[in-house]
Amino acid sequence: MPARDIYHYNVKNALIKDGWIITHDPLSLKWGKTDMYADLGAEKILAAEKKQRKIAVEIKSFVGPSIIKDLRDALGQYVLYHDILKCTEPDRILYLAIRQAIFLSLFEEPIGQLLLQNQRVRLMVFEHKREEILQWIP
């Protein structure tokens, strides 16, 4: 099993507070002989649509010495997991969970805006102290 991110339980609690049911902790991703794990799998019933929404969440703390290296590592992992899920569970949407402080310092800057404009990553922005989801960015 992989090591948990330092904000693992903050994100898990935020999802539960938001009405999500945690179905996998972690979510196993297998491709060929390779086993990988996204941090969380969750489901939510959308009452208005009467259908189930499934997500996978990869949590990243961005506490390394270089925010750009952390971004490169997170994006590489995100692309890999996204492509595996597209083949194995096409109805499950992958999100990268990041703290609000990281969103403000990275994704409101030109490099982050470029990634969002090109739809390279879906974000779940959370506030770790209050354990709340602040926004979903498709």
pLDDT bin (cut points 50, 70, 90) of residue 48 is: low
Please give the domain boundaries of the chain with CATH numbers for all domains: 8-137 (3.40.1350.10)
| Res. 2: pLDDT tops 90 | no
Report the alpha-carbon distance of residue 100 to residue 98 in Å, rounded: 7
Contact (Cβ atoms closer than 8 angstroms) between residue 131 and residue 124: no
Mean pLDDT of 82-109: 97
Report the alpha-carbon distance of residue 134 to residue 80 in Å, rounded: 26
pLDDT of res. 45: 86
Residue percentage of the chain with pLDDT more than 70: 96
pLDDT bin (cut points 50, 70, 90) of residue 50 is: low
Q: Which two tokens stand for residue 52?
A: 């189930």
